[in-house]
Amino acid sequence: MVSAQVTFSEISPSEFFYRNRDLAGFSNPARALYMAARELVENSLDACETAGILPEVHVRITPLDPKGESADPRAYVLRVQDNGLGIDPKHAPNAFARVFYGSKFKLRQARGMFGMGGTMAILYGQITTNKPVKITTSVDGKKLHSFSMLIDIQENKPIILSHETVEGDGSTGTSVEVTLQGDFLRASQKIADYFRQTALVNPFANITYIDPQGKPFFYFRGTEAMPSPPQETKPHPHGIDVEAMRRLLRQANEKTLQKLLVANFHRVGERTAQKFLEFARLDPQRDPKSLDNEEVVKLVGAIHKFDEFLAPDASCLSPLGEEILKAGVQKELQPEFLAIELRPPSAYSGFPFVIEVALAYGGKVLQEGKKLFRFANRIPLLYDEANDVAWKVLNEEIDWKNYKIPEHAPIAIITHVCSTKVPYKTVGKEYLADRPELERELKNAVREVLRQLKGHLSRKGSMEMVKRKLNIYGKYLPLIARFSQELAQAKRPPRYRTLIGEQQTSEQAAETAEKAAKLEQPEVETIVPSEKKQESEEIEEKQSTLEEFAS
Amino acid sequence: MVSAQVTFSEISPSEFFYRNRDLAGFSNPARALYMAARELVENSLDACETAGILPEVHVRITPLDPKGESADPRAYVLRVQDNGLGIDPKHAPNAFARVFYGSKFKLRQARGMFGMGGTMAILYGQITTNKPVKITTSVDGKKLHSFSMLIDIQENKPIILSHETVEGDGSTGTSVEVTLQGDFLRASQKIADYFRQTALVNPFANITYIDPQGKPFFYFRGTEAMPSPPQETKPHPHGIDVEAMRRLLRQANEKTLQKLLVANFHRVGERTAQKFLEFARLDPQRDPKSLDNEEVVKLVGAIHKFDEFLAPDASCLSPLGEEILKAGVQKELQPEFLAIELRPPSAYSGFPFVIEVALAYGGKVLQEGKKLFRFANRIPLLYDEANDVAWKVLNEEIDWKNYKIPEHAPIAIITHVCSTKVPYKTVGKEYLADRPELERELKNAVREVLRQLKGHLSRKGSMEMVKRKLNIYGKYLPLIARFSQELAQAKRPPRYRTLIGEQQTSEQAAETAEKAAKLEQPEVETIVPSEKKQESEEIEEKQSTLEEFAS
């Protein structure tokens, strides 16, 4: 007989993530410093955008002991301040010091997805420095609330050390000050990349960042155009499971199944509901509360088999759009050529998403080689690139030879995925799962911008030939003219200038010469879809389609 | 003035993982079926090994509606039964139907790491089929407890539908029966791989698996040798953070700092404690409860800087060892050549770990090409290979040209990481983080087995030459002998047989011919370290060392 040697215990959510902080990206002092900064900045941007406020975000990282000569890793004070909505003082302690408590648990596009980034930053600070977090917030500009708090990790609840209220200066917003162990030496590059890329897809934000040496970085607002605030949405039928349906039925106020479907699902009207319930062989007039367990399972099964529900619409999403994306890329990358492709809305498992892709080529900022900048709901994703669906598309699914792009060409591909639910594979929000729908849309968008680049490069090639010809004419014609004049003993040389002009016209050089001149300084060119297809590209496009068909 | 549009809510741990089940690997019906089977099998194996019981695990996957012609994805009943310890009926409901409740929250090598796999399987079953889980368990063989349960996801607690007690048949153990939506068509290959690889590193277990078509798979016990049960261990000082130290100091019964360190840390004796506290400038006789916050932070900072703590020992770990690993690989892969390298214990962030690597070459089972089998605490890791540290080592850090291994050679590399804390990057337990210490040990082990394979291949090459020579002699010498006899008109031919024998001796062929004969049937050869180095390998080894130095 064996006696049980097994003991059981329960741990709190804080305790779970305290023990497994690698899962949330807080794996070492370098990555933790980066993660803490990004999580707080993302909360700040969300807090501004939700209310349509143009964001002002100020970030400062200071050594805790500025005079101390101690080397990394060491304690840093990270302070992030915004002009967002502020947080109701009733909720502030829990929002910051309680895992699984937050405002992000809904179907709405947001940077935060798991509702725990800020809390993880505070938790990491506490377990490495034992210093309380300081939160200052105002929702009305009249009263400013300051909290000093620790987390009771075992109980998953805030320990409020102090709560003071002073008069506000009229402005709303929140500031968070965390003291944490960091390794700035190893994190500085990622943090710099993070801010630069954040500025790229949030050009409507003013961001300042002061590094531990006191060096300031300014990312100025490049446009006042803000994407419309994302809206909360109802679930799409294809995203529903038995548990969700059971909850719906239990809480339903609607008296019939048909009304329940119309009231609670995204894009389900009376006619669709009727049609579906016929398909599912359920009486539309039936009382939702009368369904037994078996019937609920059958209902959900039928929902997933019914293919006449309208696809989720993306009106609840807030993609960047051409103007903002263009402004961001121009500001940060100053390319010679810029192509943008916005895909129509699509959906996976009932969650709507939109893909936006930009391609930047040449200019003074980009280095040789192919570079991928990944974004999801307007946050840059910097780690674990090779695990991401966008990397897979670029490196495994695009046939680069098709686009005749020179090797080592200076190219940046910017991908942006917007969704009410970004399919992150980890709580640390670093890479997206290769859902087939996402993969397909990314592939289509990347192909389109590459086609545009191919067109640009081929135009650029013929322009350069024209330019070279003109140079030759320009060099030799005057000499020939002078010889002719001398030979003919004429008073004036022949009007060779007109000749050059004619040559130009015959090759449409008047226009191209202007463009060629422009090419000498890096300048941005965007192409509208109607202009962009040339014959050779169409052939190439047909090839791609065949390729797709064969694969 | 902007009014707050933000609403806050708290969700339970069940609710969090219900919403984010991708994080735990339950992303679609195919993967979920695989994950559910593996999580339950791993719980079963843990429940046997903890008590040193030779595991008998029976797994059955049956369609819920066997007569129905419905296609995948559809509902399956997954049943996993073991002869382990059983679960105390007081704890069984929470252990299975409550997230963050379990027996795995300690520093002990176990397959389970997050204490939530079984609960996730049950949760997934419930949200896709709404069927209760059935648990039957006995800890003493006298009473058999049967539960039928659902999870209250919003409250994170079990809903017990029924609890019956009947007389037991004398055996202990647990059986779990979950009904869940699965896609067997897409999952079958992974599930088959999973069982085969589980058998490979658990050759002391009897595992039977009956697939949905009723086809049985038997993985018979290949050895009765079981690894010693893993032991719980105290934390190593280098794994401690401020939070953990604060808890220790608060709960301490010891009256002095020195005693506290000795009593609560792994491999800290009185002398080390004394030395360390001098280094940290703290009085060894000081009352642990008298330290203020600042001092706790300083104490932990000093711990991480003090480099005279003994490395964690691995006596708490339970690696497979040469015998079991050999038995497993022979049983499943039947290679022509097998090399095994067990690295000495090492540690990362205070957690001890041991790396075991096997290399199998040739034989009838292995196909052409390089294959990687990854294991951690005796579980196979099948998904997301390219994200794993072992893949990185094999593909980015080993210079294969050094080992003169023919392209497309049939090779399998088996890596096994044992630790009290496996550095998984996701809750789904599929790949390990590239901690530098892990990477280094893996690299060393892989190099060693490759060196052995190189030796084997070069011996095999020279043996084949000897054999070919002997064939020629054997063919022509009798003829020459007969001609000589006729020419000399002698009564007997010359004693050419002795000649062949001499030739053999001169090339040490007596031994090699025997080996060469063996080579014709696939048979396993293992080489003990003392025999394995030949001159050419030593040169190669020096090169590797230089290479390492240069990198």
Cα distance from B126 to chain A (closest Cα, Å)? Answer: 7
Token duo for residue B24: 């735990």
CA distance A388 to chain B (A): 11
Chain B residue whose CA is closest to A427: B23
Q: How far is A384 from chain B (nearest CA, A)?
A: 9
Chain A residues in contact with B173 (beta carbon < 8 A): none
pLDDT tens-place string over residues B148-160:
999 999 999 999 9
Contact B270/B382 with Cβ under 8 angstroms? no
The distance of B365 to chain A (nearest Cα, Å) reads 30
Q: Helix or strand or coil: residue B15?
A: helix
The pLDDT value given to residue B541 = 39
Q: Are B217 and B192 in contact (CB under 8 A)?
A: yes
* Facing A11 at nearest CB: one of B88, B100, B131: B100
Q: What is the pLDDT along chain B (551 residues), one digit of tens a residue?
A: 334 456 788 889 999 888 888 888 898 899 999 999 999 999 999 999 988 999 999 999 999 988 766 788 899 999 999 999 999 999 999 999 999 888 877 778 888 878 788 999 999 999 999 999 999 999 999 999 999 999 999 999 999 999 999 999 999 999 999 999 999 999 999 999 999 999 989 999 999 999 999 999 999 998 888 888 888 888 899 888 898 898 899 888 999 999 999 999 999 999 999 999 999 999 999 999 999 988 999 999 899 889 999 988 878 898 989 998 998 899 889 999 999 999 988 888 888 899 999 999 999 889 999 999 999 999 999 988 888 899 999 998 999 989 988 888 999 999 999 999 999 988 889 999 888 889 999 999 999 999 999 999 988 877 676 677 667 666 766 777 777 777 777 777 767 666 555 544 444 444 544 444 444 443 333 333 333 334 344 334 344 433 443 33
Q: How far apart are CA B337 and CA B414, in angstroms?
A: 13
* Test the A interface: residue of B241, B293, B305, B389 with most A CBs within 10 Å: B241
Nearest CA in chain B to A293: B130
Cβ pairs A/B, distance under 8 A: 167
Set of chain B residues whose Cβ sits within 8 Å of the Cβ of A18: 243
- Say which of A5, A8, A11 has its CB closest to residue B91: A8
Looking at beta carbons, which residues of chain B come within 8 Å of A129?
Answer: 242, 297
d(CA B505, CA B439): 46
Determine, for residues A130 and B246 on separate chains, whether the beta-carbon distance falls below 8 Å: yes
Count of positions (residues) in chain A: 551
Give residues with Cβ within 8 angstroms of B534, minimum separation 6. B455, B458, B459
Is A100 in Cβ contact with B6 (below 8 Å)?
A: no
Buried b (16+ CB within 10 A) or exposed e, B503-525: ebeebebeebbebbeebeebebb
Residue of B nearest to A53 (CA): B2
- Asked if A103 and B172 come within 8 Å (Cβ–Cβ), the reply is no
pLDDT number for residue A113:
78
**Distance, CA of B205 to CA of B219 (rounded, Å):** 8
pLDDT in tens, B230-240: 888 888 998 88
Residues 6+ apart with CB under 8 A from A316: A107, A108, A109, A230, A231, A232, A233, A352, A420
CA distance A460 to A469: 14
B interface test, pick of A1, A15, A16 with most B CB neighbours within 10 Å: A16
Give the type of residue at B270. E
- 3-class state of residue B255 by DSSP: coil
Closest-CA residue of B relative to A243 is: B127
Token output for A46: 């969300």
- Picking from A6, A141, A425, the nearest residue to B103 by CB comes out as A6
**Is A426 close to B140, i.e. CB distance below 8 A?**
no
> Does the distance separating the beta carbons of A53 and B13 come in below 8 Å?
no
Mark yes or no for CB contact B13/A423 under 8 Å. Answer: no
Which of A1, A75, A88 is opposite residue B140, by nearest beta carbon? Answer: A1
